[in-house]
Amino acid sequence: MNFGRGPSVVLNVGGTRYSFSREVLKDFPLRRVSRLHGCLSEQDVLEVCDDYDRERNEYFFDRHSEAFGFIMLYVRHGHLRFVPHMCELSFYNEMIYWGLEGSHLDYCCQRRLDDRMSETCTYYAAEEPKGGPEGKGRRPPGAEGRKWLERMRRTFEEPTSSVAAQVLATVSILFVIVSMVVLCASTLPEWRAPENRSVEEQSRIIEAICIGWFTAECIVRFIVSKNKCEFVRRPLNIIDLLAITPYYISVLMTVFTGENSQLQRAGVTLRVLRMMRIFWVIKLARHFIGLQTLGLTLKRCYREMVMLLVFICVAMAIFSALSQLLENGLDLGTKNKDYASIPAACWWVIISMTTVGYGDMCPITVPGRILGGICVVSGIVLLALPITFIYHSFVQCYHELKFRSARYSRSLSAEFLN
């Protein structure tokens, strides 16, 4: 520290005094306190604290003393929790003042903070410089264009960011629902009857309109995106391309092969491409937090999903070999033909471990039935172990997305007020 005298400094926070050596302040975990080490003048000190006593080398901070005490416990022990009987938002405000973030809180307190901020639609961000009357006229070249692009991007990417975004999301959802209804109805035998040829033509027109909307929406989002490469790599955008592309491929194949050709009537490729339109349902993930939470959970819990798959595969290998041996391999008087091989027994293990039990195959010997009971119980235990981690990750992802949605709803409320 280049300002002040004495081997130690005293921090007075709300009447509670803390003494530190000068060297400790240099690498202090709290950013505001560590800034005192580089102060060169009294003016620099007063930018960090509220008052300073040169004689006693004491720095005064007019802040909540009990909250700072809990923050000091975090500095010493590495665990940060809320002060009992204190508002979560007030404590979070103290954290921001001393240079901490919400991620420093313990997991249980992070959830409380997210819930509290979601309820009140509160969002803490860095303060923007307030421009006076002179600064309003000085805008960098192209600022209006960038502002318009950002507004368009938020309108298409964040359904809760504005009224226009909500209207656009509602229209997009209606197009998805209509396209799914037409796709499901087109598989009915009545629709494919020769006397209902006009109905089939109308369904094709509706399908073309829906595809046109999805294509235009995808193109606009690509144009207004900040990073084109990142846009192409996003999973939801890849799904959009997979849902749109098959229609244009089928149209091109129809043009080149003819409407009534053998390929058009019985071509497996066209039927597969037509069914790929079911990916349109996943477009609803842009507008529903539940589907977004599911996708984010699967992305974060891929290790737990692999662990679950390994558990199932190991148990399936063990129980299928034992069941084949007990039901068919040993000469116990009766042989169960359903268990003629280990791959055939794997199907029974899967439906038993997941407690589905279709009843299409079951053990008939006493040892086989005992093994079946052990298989069911072990399946319940093995599936429950990794699912616990997945559940907690799902809850955390839901709170994160809910908080982000509430943050954009706050800007929507401001738009209504304006």
Rounded Cα gap, residues 294 and 394, in angstroms: 7
For residues 164 and 243, state if they share a domain. yes
For residues 170 and 45, state if they share a domain. no
Position 136 in a domain: no
Q: How many domains does the chain have?
A: 3
The predicted model scores a pTM of: 0.53
Is residue 258 pLDDT above 70, yes or no?
A: no
Q: What is the mean pLDDT of residues 300-310?
A: 87
For helices 143-157 and 197-224, give the axis angle rounded to 10 degrees: 140
For residues 39 and 98, state if they share a domain. yes
- pLDDT tens per residue, range 96-136: 888 888 778 887 787 788 777 766 544 444 334 444 444 44
For residues 163 and 112, state if they share a domain. no
Position 293 in a domain: no
For residues 280 and 391, state if they share a domain. no
For residues 68 and 186, state if they share a domain. no
- Residue 270's CATH number: 1.20.120.350
For residues 15 and 42, state if they share a domain. yes
Where a domain ends, among 287, 322, 356? 287
- Helical ranges in 186-301 per DSSP H: 197-224, 228-233, 235-257, 262-266, 268-275, 289-300
For residues 279 and 321, state if they share a domain. no
Give the chain's mean pLDDT: 78
Position 376 in a domain: yes
Position 297 in a domain: no
- Say what the pLDDT of residue 261 is: 46
Position 89 in a domain: yes
- pLDDT tens per residue, range 319-374: 999 988 888 877 666 778 888 888 888 999 998 888 887 878 888 888 888 998 99
Task: Give the domain extent around 338.
Answer: 302-404
- Say what the pLDDT of residue 233 is: 83
- Residue 389's CATH number: 1.10.287.70
Position 132 in a domain: no
Rounded Cα gap, residues 36 and 44, in angstroms: 8
For residues 99 and 75, state if they share a domain. yes
Where a domain ends, among 287, 318, 351? 287
Position 233 in a domain: yes
For residues 280 and 358, state if they share a domain. no
Distances (CA, A) of 282 to 172, 218, 249, 288, 382: 12, 14, 20, 10, 30
- Say what the pLDDT of residue 168 is: 86
Where a domain ends, among 263, 287, 311? 287
Q: 1-8: which pairs have CB atoms within 8 A and are 24 or more residues apart?
A: 1/25, 1/36, 1/37, 1/38, 1/39, 2/38, 2/39, 2/40, 3/39, 3/40, 3/41, 3/42, 3/44, 3/45, 4/45, 4/54, 4/57, 5/57, 6/57, 8/57
Is residue 172 pLDDT above 60, yes or no?
A: yes
For residues 325 and 239, state if they share a domain. no
For residues 159 and 271, state if they share a domain. yes
Q: Look at strands 58-61 and 16-21 and give their pairing.
A: unpaired
Q: What is the mean pLDDT of residues 402-407?
A: 68
DSSP-derived secondary structure letter, 126 = P
User: pLDDT confidence of 214, banded at 50, 70, 90?
Assistant: confident
Position 417 in a domain: no
- Residue 98's CATH number: 3.30.710.10
Is residue 212 pLDDT above 60, yes or no?
A: yes
